[in-house]
Amino acid sequence: MFLLVILGLLFFIIKQLRSEKERKERIQDELVKAEEAARKHKAYLTESIQIISKGVLEEQCGITEGCIRLKVLIENIAPHLLQHAELKVIQLMFDKTSHIPLLDDWKALSSLEKDKFLAEMSEVEKIYKSDVQSAAHFLLQYPFNQTQQ
Protein backbone atom coordinates (compact mmCIF):
# COMPACT_ATOMS: atom_id res chain seq x y z
CA MET A 1 0.00 0.00 0.00
CA PHE A 2 2.77 2.41 0.98
CA LEU A 3 4.51 1.64 -2.32
CA LEU A 4 1.37 2.53 -4.27
CA VAL A 5 1.14 5.90 -2.53
CA ILE A 6 4.80 6.58 -3.31
CA LEU A 7 4.32 5.56 -6.95
CA GLY A 8 1.22 7.75 -7.18
CA LEU A 9 3.09 10.73 -5.77
CA LEU A 10 6.04 10.05 -8.07
CA PHE A 11 3.72 9.91 -11.07
CA PHE A 12 2.06 13.17 -9.98
CA ILE A 13 5.45 14.90 -9.49
CA ILE A 14 6.71 13.76 -12.90
CA LYS A 15 3.49 14.96 -14.53
CA GLN A 16 3.83 18.35 -12.81
CA LEU A 17 7.48 18.68 -13.87
CA ARG A 18 6.61 17.90 -17.49
CA SER A 19 3.77 20.40 -17.39
CA GLU A 20 6.06 23.08 -15.96
CA LYS A 21 8.72 22.33 -18.58
CA GLU A 22 6.14 22.66 -21.38
CA ARG A 23 4.88 25.92 -19.90
CA LYS A 24 8.42 27.32 -19.78
CA GLU A 25 9.02 26.23 -23.39
CA ARG A 26 5.78 27.95 -24.51
CA ILE A 27 6.79 31.14 -22.70
CA GLN A 28 10.25 31.02 -24.29
CA ASP A 29 8.73 30.49 -27.76
CA GLU A 30 6.39 33.45 -27.22
CA LEU A 31 9.31 35.59 -26.07
CA VAL A 32 11.32 34.68 -29.17
CA LYS A 33 8.33 35.51 -31.39
CA ALA A 34 7.79 38.83 -29.62
CA GLU A 35 11.46 39.76 -29.96
CA GLU A 36 11.37 38.92 -33.68
CA ALA A 37 8.22 40.98 -34.17
CA ALA A 38 9.82 43.92 -32.33
CA ARG A 39 12.97 43.60 -34.46
CA LYS A 40 10.90 43.58 -37.67
CA HIS A 41 8.85 46.57 -36.50
CA LYS A 42 12.00 48.52 -35.66
CA ALA A 43 13.46 47.67 -39.08
CA TYR A 44 10.23 48.83 -40.74
CA LEU A 45 10.26 52.12 -38.81
CA THR A 46 13.94 52.69 -39.59
CA GLU A 47 13.42 52.01 -43.29
CA SER A 48 10.37 54.30 -43.37
CA ILE A 49 12.34 57.12 -41.72
CA GLN A 50 15.12 56.70 -44.28
CA ILE A 51 12.73 56.65 -47.22
CA ILE A 52 10.89 59.77 -46.06
CA SER A 53 14.16 61.57 -45.27
CA LYS A 54 15.44 60.81 -48.77
CA GLY A 55 12.10 61.92 -50.20
CA VAL A 56 12.36 65.25 -48.38
CA LEU A 57 15.94 65.77 -49.61
CA GLU A 58 15.07 64.83 -53.18
CA GLU A 59 11.90 66.96 -53.02
CA GLN A 60 9.71 63.93 -53.74
CA CYS A 61 7.90 64.51 -50.46
CA GLY A 62 6.66 67.86 -49.22
CA ILE A 63 8.39 69.39 -46.21
CA THR A 64 5.18 69.56 -44.18
CA GLU A 65 4.06 66.04 -45.04
CA GLY A 66 7.57 64.73 -44.40
CA CYS A 67 7.70 66.34 -40.96
CA ILE A 68 4.30 64.96 -39.99
CA ARG A 69 5.30 61.45 -41.03
CA LEU A 70 8.77 61.65 -39.51
CA LYS A 71 7.42 62.88 -36.17
CA VAL A 72 5.04 59.93 -35.88
CA LEU A 73 7.72 57.42 -36.90
CA ILE A 74 10.34 58.86 -34.55
CA GLU A 75 7.85 58.82 -31.67
CA ASN A 76 7.45 55.10 -32.27
CA ILE A 77 11.12 54.18 -32.46
CA ALA A 78 13.04 56.73 -30.37
CA PRO A 79 10.86 59.53 -28.94
CA HIS A 80 13.82 61.13 -27.17
CA LEU A 81 15.25 62.03 -30.59
CA LEU A 82 12.63 64.72 -31.08
CA GLN A 83 14.46 66.64 -28.33
CA HIS A 84 17.76 66.48 -30.23
CA ALA A 85 18.76 69.95 -31.42
CA GLU A 86 19.04 68.78 -35.02
CA LEU A 87 15.50 67.37 -35.00
CA LYS A 88 13.53 69.95 -33.02
CA VAL A 89 12.47 71.48 -36.34
CA ILE A 90 10.38 68.38 -37.05
CA GLN A 91 8.33 68.92 -33.89
CA LEU A 92 8.18 72.65 -34.67
CA MET A 93 6.85 72.05 -38.19
CA PHE A 94 4.37 69.55 -36.83
CA ASP A 95 3.12 72.04 -34.25
CA LYS A 96 2.84 74.87 -36.78
CA THR A 97 0.80 72.76 -39.19
CA SER A 98 -1.18 70.49 -36.86
CA HIS A 99 -4.35 72.52 -37.40
CA ILE A 100 -4.36 71.74 -41.13
CA PRO A 101 -6.86 69.00 -42.01
CA LEU A 102 -5.55 65.67 -43.30
CA LEU A 103 -6.80 62.90 -45.58
CA ASP A 104 -10.60 62.84 -45.85
CA ASP A 105 -10.90 66.12 -43.96
CA TRP A 106 -8.59 67.72 -46.55
CA LYS A 107 -10.65 66.30 -49.41
CA ALA A 108 -13.77 67.80 -47.88
CA LEU A 109 -12.34 71.34 -48.00
CA SER A 110 -13.32 73.82 -50.67
CA SER A 111 -10.71 74.97 -53.18
CA LEU A 112 -10.52 78.32 -51.41
CA GLU A 113 -9.87 76.67 -48.04
CA LYS A 114 -7.22 74.38 -49.56
CA ASP A 115 -5.49 77.34 -51.19
CA LYS A 116 -5.38 79.16 -47.86
CA PHE A 117 -3.77 76.18 -46.13
CA LEU A 118 -1.38 75.56 -49.03
CA ALA A 119 -0.20 79.17 -48.86
CA GLU A 120 0.29 78.84 -45.12
CA MET A 121 2.28 75.61 -45.57
CA SER A 122 4.39 77.21 -48.27
CA GLU A 123 5.35 80.09 -45.98
CA VAL A 124 6.29 77.79 -43.12
CA GLU A 125 8.23 75.51 -45.48
CA LYS A 126 10.23 78.45 -46.87
CA ILE A 127 11.29 79.44 -43.37
CA TYR A 128 12.31 75.96 -42.19
CA LYS A 129 13.28 74.14 -45.41
CA SER A 130 17.05 74.12 -44.80
CA ASP A 131 16.60 73.07 -41.17
CA VAL A 132 14.30 70.21 -42.21
CA GLN A 133 16.82 69.13 -44.83
CA SER A 134 19.55 69.13 -42.17
CA ALA A 135 17.27 67.00 -39.99
CA ALA A 136 16.73 64.59 -42.89
CA HIS A 137 20.51 64.27 -43.35
CA PHE A 138 20.87 63.64 -39.61
CA LEU A 139 18.22 60.91 -39.71
CA LEU A 140 19.88 59.19 -42.66
CA GLN A 141 23.08 58.97 -40.63
CA TYR A 142 21.52 58.08 -37.28
CA PRO A 143 22.39 54.54 -36.07
CA PHE A 144 18.87 53.29 -35.32
CA ASN A 145 20.10 49.69 -35.46
CA GLN A 146 22.37 50.04 -32.45
CA THR A 147 20.86 48.67 -29.27
CA GLN A 148 21.49 51.86 -27.29
CA GLN A 149 19.93 54.99 -28.80
Determine contact, residues 144/46, Cβ cutoff 8 Å: yes
pLDDT in tens, 10-61: 999 999 999 999 999 999 999 999 999 999 999 999 999 999 999 999 999 9
Helix axes 88-97, 111-141, angle to 10 degrees: 170
CA distance 115 to 45: 32
CA distance 106 to 117: 10
pLDDT band at 145; cut points 50, 70, 90: confident
